[in-house]
Structure 1
Amino acid sequence: MARPGPRDGALRPARRRTVELVLVLTALGAFALCLAMAGLQIDGRVPERFPLYVGVVSAAALGLHVTLRLVAPWADPLPLPLATLLNGVGLTVIWGLHHVRGTDTNEADRQLAWTVIGTVLCCAVLLVVRRPQRLQRYPYLAAAGGLVLILLPMLPVIGIEVFGARRWIGIGDFTVQPSEFASILLIVFLAAYLGLKREVLGTAARQLRLGRVKIFSLPRMRDLGPMTAAWGVAILLLVGTRDLGTSLVLFSVFLAMLYTATGRKSWVGIGLAMFSVGATAAYLMFWHVRQRVAIWLDPFGPDVYTEHGGSYQLVQGLFALADGGLFGTGFGQGRASEIFASDSDLILISIGEKLGLTGLVAVILSLLLLAERGFRIALGSRDVFTKLMLTGFAFLLAFQVFVVLGGVTRLIPLTGLTTPFLAAGGSSLIANWIGLGLWLRVSDSARRPAVLPLPTPAEHATVTMRLSGAHTRAAENGRNGEVSSNTRATPQG
């Protein structure tokens, strides 16, 4: 049995879930309005699949909300509405792009199916992982599983190479991107490992100073093993899968978690230097890396701007963003539907064209707010493992958004990464919902008030006997003291 803590109350979790319900209904209303407007702008009528899409997404989101009420009532009320809104906007844009092309809507139907599967797995995580701290018991099993998933595309039979990168495996008519699921396992491993080794890794061997000013802290050489191993894995991924984006994201997440665990900027500087060496080697070794850098530097050059490749995709995306203006062209106009991968890699381009700068900023702010909630949950976690794990998940989401948005706006080279909860593709969407389940479970554990165990009958009897004995001895001592004082006060002779 357990006794509620002093600040526990029946209204707080209920009020939290009520706020979540209102926000989820608002997100579903925004999704329904957006889908109806897309149909009106394209065909002049509400889409025929409107009841199906709205009904299924609503059932999935409300079912997850009910699960939270039952098993995680203290969870943060914002992540679920934000994820529902982003998922709905992505589904609407995917449907609109394929409908304008005149092709079937199978891609949107598949995205709807992935949404259902993702939310079901999110519920499963909430039901199975009751104590997220127990995940740190299996760090090397998580590491082995993550590495196996990443190396699967390198196999000659099931691995699929697209545009120079091997990130997919083929299973029948379906393709899976294992790195999306591997990132979850690797973050769990890093959180467990760094939680145990943070004090050792935070010890500096010597400090470089300029007079009395500290410039740089060098770690001990024997502690460089984890950094070297992570760098080697990143290079192995880059060589084996030829995927600069995945290597960049995973290594950056490792650096962020390492800095969170140790607080030493020297590790970040050494890590960036090592990754720069690896990226330079990749530029010299692989033609597709050199091509992406050339596209980034001069996309309008006659040597790289070709209609069937080169910088055509990037340039058309920039034109689509310009066409969107402040309020967008709507779903019935624009060029985004003709751009390759406009529903996956360039989903932010499509949102910017259809909904304008206003809609794009709203979507980006929703993504950043979701990442901010992840960092806030990490700050409120009660143990080091969950703090590091949530930091890794939140940084992964924020860094993915930065890499994708930077690539489509020519801030950095294109990497081919997907935008969380928005881009078409089952692997990314399902992995994001699974990660959200861990977010919500950790949030519930962090916000749930501490409980005090009720004493057993035997313990209660023992405490009562001790208290009664103490009171008896105190009474006897008081009487003895009174008699002795009276004796001392009696006059002699």
Structure 2
Amino acid sequence: MTDQKLTRSTDAVSTDTAVMRALKKIRVPATQRNRELGLLAFAIAVYGAAVTLVQLGATGAIETGFLILAAVPAVLALITHVVLRLRARDADPFVLPIATVLTGLGIAMIYRIDLADQATGWDATGHRQIAWAVIAMLAALAVLIFVRNYRVLFRYTYLSGLIGILLLLLPFVPGLGTDQNADVWVSLGFVSFQPGELAKICLAIFFAGYLVRTRESLTSTGTRFLFMTWPRARELGPVLIIWLVSLGIIVLQRDLGTGLLIFGMFVAMLYVATGKTSWVLIGLVLVASGAFLASRVLPYVNGRFANWLHAFDPEVIDRDGGSYQLVQGIFGLSHGGLFGTGFGQGRPYITPLSQSDYIVPSLGEELGLVGLFAILALYMVFTSRGIRIGLAGQDDFGKLLATGFSFTIALQVFIMVGGVTRVIPLTGLTTPFLAAGGSSLIANWIIVAFLLRISDAVRSRPRVVIG
């Protein structure tokens, strides 16, 4: 009888232990989502404060109509949070709030330029940016709801590569291209977009799937030299092909930024797949040689280098396509000083394209060096979380995909911030989440959705249902 009581007591203790373990497993995802909700509330507060301060600083009054319109992306961010609670409970809690606050700051600054230009209604860039933000966040929600398992994309590796190439070639289709400085825009009559922004997502999926399939041959062979293992000529083929594709984009589309972005993304994913530093060195040599050749052969690339090296030369400033924009942006940053002029108090609108290519100098003028560093810190955290998601992955495809997406955002930020601050020559890219432009915003929010989906798969544990 005593033995039976002891057995029941032991079983009860075991049951209680199992219950406690199950409760812990359930509590961890709830903690992640609660942390996300707190950060998201702070991000929305910053967004609302930025729009309000812009109105008070520029006009001295609050326009409730635009505030109501600007609240729509905030509501969609909260809806995305609810979807994550239901469909991706283990997703990273930092990615969504950072994307929200960056998008909000971009909308606020674009709206500030509209107030200076006295642009109103849907002809104003700020109103269109809100509409694009809504479309982008709806696209992210669609990815979260319908792509339940990102590993399915591995089956469509080569199809993704084909779609990516076709998107890059789309501006050359008669009747679709536009008369822009670079052949990267497609016009459908009622709207124009850059297919290259969506192409980078398709090519990232292709690169990840391709490197998973060829990883063994890329890592198991090579020659040891200077403390590194160098690949054989046979393994150099894919790198050279991507390098030639990037040069083709630069030559045919006159788009230096997209060419650098695609090649840089491939080299970064190649390094993650193989762990060989030699691939990075080879990539840097190819980039340097390609840039040198392009600057010697292509007039527009030569002009970009001249604007970079001789930005303050009066002859370079005054000529057509010269460094006037670059110099104005640098003066705007210096005018902002350490703490900035305040939202609505500066003059960022005197810089051409201050709402798109030069959105960073615009923000730097009114938020100052401190505010600009805070924005760069947000990008750094976003990238580090994405890389952390990739490194924590159990499958190579997810690891490469998350790393490729994160590096793409980081490289875009470096290229644009480095260009407007005269660290490197300026190229035709957009600053992620901040700059005016619908195709870029949609592509970057789709990247956010994929990072959330991958992080949920990485962190998810078997859950015990207690009934």
* TM-score strictly above 0.5: yes
The answer to whether residue 203 in structure 2 is matched with residue 194 in structure 1 is no
Alignment of 1:18-29 (within 5 A): 18-29=34-45
Question: 8 Å contact 1:154–1:240 — kept in the other structure?
Answer: no
Question: 8 Å contact 2:157–2:210 — kept in the other structure?
Answer: yes
* Structure 2 counterpart of 1:244: 256
The answer to whether residue 151 in structure 2 is matched with residue 133 in structure 1 is yes
Pick one of 74, 81, 84 that aligns with 1:58: 74
The answer to whether residue 199 in structure 2 is matched with residue 182 in structure 1 is yes
The answer to whether residue 256 in structure 2 is matched with residue 267 in structure 1 is no
**Closer, same or farther in 2 for the Cα pair 1:296/1:13, shift >3 Å?**
same
Cα shift at 1:20: 0.9
Worse-matched range after superposition: 20-29 or 322-331? 322-331
* Structure 2 counterpart of 1:386: 398
The answer to whether residue 60 in structure 2 is matched with residue 44 in structure 1 is yes
Pick one of 87, 100, 109 that aligns with 1:84: 100
**Closer, same or farther in 2 for the Cα pair 1:309/1:223, shift >3 Å?**
closer
- The one-letter code matched in structure 2 to 1:427 is S
* Structure 1 counterpart of 2:15: none
- The one-letter code matched in structure 2 to 1:293 is F
Which string of whole-angstrom CA distances, capped at 9 and with x for unpartnered residues, describes residues 279-303 of structure 1?
Answer: 2222122211111100100111122
The answer to whether residue 230 in structure 2 is matched with residue 230 in structure 1 is no
Q: Which SS does the other structure have where 2:64 is aligned?
A: coil
**Closer, same or farther in 2 for the Cα pair 1:6/1:186, shift >3 Å?**
farther
Alignment of 1:327-476 (within 5 A): 327-450=339-462
Q: Normalising to structure 1: TM-score of the pair?
A: 0.87
* Structure 2 counterpart of 1:484: none
* Structure 1 counterpart of 2:9: none
**Closer, same or farther in 2 for the Cα pair 1:201/1:87, shift >3 Å?**
same
Superposition CA RMSD, Å: 1.9
Question: 8 Å contact 2:47–2:101 — kept in the other structure?
Answer: yes
Q: Which SS does the other structure have where 1:328 is aligned?
A: coil
Q: Which SS does the other structure have where 2:223 is aligned?
A: strand
Question: 8 Å contact 1:4–1:451 — kept in the other structure?
Answer: no
Greater Rg over alpha carbons, structure: 1
**Closer, same or farther in 2 for the Cα pair 1:146/1:423, shift >3 Å?**
same
Distance 1:238 1:330 in 2: 39
Worse-matched range after superposition: 44-53 or 121-130? 44-53
Cα shift at 1:334: 2.9
* Structure 2 counterpart of 1:204: 221
In proportion to residue count, which structure has more strand? 1
**Closer, same or farther in 2 for the Cα pair 1:397/1:4, shift >3 Å?**
farther
**Closer, same or farther in 2 for the Cα pair 1:38/1:307, shift >3 Å?**
farther
How many percent of aligned residue pairs carry the same amino acid? 44
Cα shift at 1:332: 3.4
Question: 8 Å contact 1:334–1:354 — kept in the other structure?
Answer: yes
Worse-matched range after superposition: 166-175 or 121-130? 166-175
Question: 8 Å contact 2:25–2:461 — kept in the other structure?
Answer: no
Question: 8 Å contact 1:5–1:450 — kept in the other structure?
Answer: no
Which string of whole-angstrom CA distances, capped at 9 and with x for unpartnered residues, describes residues 388-433 of structure 1?
Answer: 0000001001111111110011000000211111110000001111
Distance 1:5 1:423 in 2: 48
Distance 2:230 2:401 in 1: 26
Distance 2:346 2:455 in 1: 42
**Closer, same or farther in 2 for the Cα pair 1:67/1:405, shift >3 Å?**
same
Question: 8 Å contact 2:256–2:428 — kept in the other structure?
Answer: no
Question: 8 Å contact 1:101–1:338 — kept in the other structure?
Answer: no
Distance 2:25 2:330 in 1: 53
Cα shift at 1:452: 9.4
Q: Which SS does the other structure have where 2:57 is aligned?
A: helix
* Structure 2 counterpart of 1:147: 165
Cα shift at 1:54: 3.9
Unmatched runs of 5 consecutive residues or more in structure 1: 454-493
* Structure 2 counterpart of 1:293: 305
Q: Which SS does the other structure have where 2:235 is aligned?
A: helix
Worse-matched range after superposition: 223-232 or 41-50? 41-50
Cα shift at 1:161: 4.2
Distance 2:63 2:413 in 1: 30
- The one-letter code matched in structure 1 to 2:225 is L
Pick one of 16, 19, 25 that aligns with 1:9: 25
- The one-letter code matched in structure 2 to 1:299 is A
Q: Which SS does the other structure have where 1:44 is aligned?
A: coil
**Closer, same or farther in 2 for the Cα pair 1:17/1:311, shift >3 Å?**
same
Distance 1:161 1:172 in 2: 13
**Closer, same or farther in 2 for the Cα pair 1:245/1:337, shift >3 Å?**
same
**Closer, same or farther in 2 for the Cα pair 1:452/1:199, shift >3 Å?**
farther
Distance 1:141 1:15 in 2: 39
Cα shift at 1:307: 7.3
* Structure 2 counterpart of 1:466: none
Unmatched runs of 5 consecutive residues or more in structure 2: 1-17
**Closer, same or farther in 2 for the Cα pair 1:303/1:450, shift >3 Å?**
same
Worse-matched range after superposition: 102-111 or 356-365? 102-111
The answer to whether residue 55 in structure 2 is matched with residue 34 in structure 1 is no
* Structure 2 counterpart of 1:488: none
The answer to whether residue 130 in structure 2 is matched with residue 118 in structure 1 is no
Which string of whole-angstrom CA distances, capped at 9 and with x for unpartnered residues, describes residues 79-132 of structure 1?
Answer: 111111111100000001111122225211111111111111111101111111
* Structure 1 counterpart of 2:8: none
**Closer, same or farther in 2 for the Cα pair 1:325/1:226, shift >3 Å?**
same
Distance 2:341 2:94 in 1: 30
The answer to whether residue 120 in structure 2 is matched with residue 108 in structure 1 is no
Cα shift at 1:335: 2.9
* Structure 2 counterpart of 1:160: 178
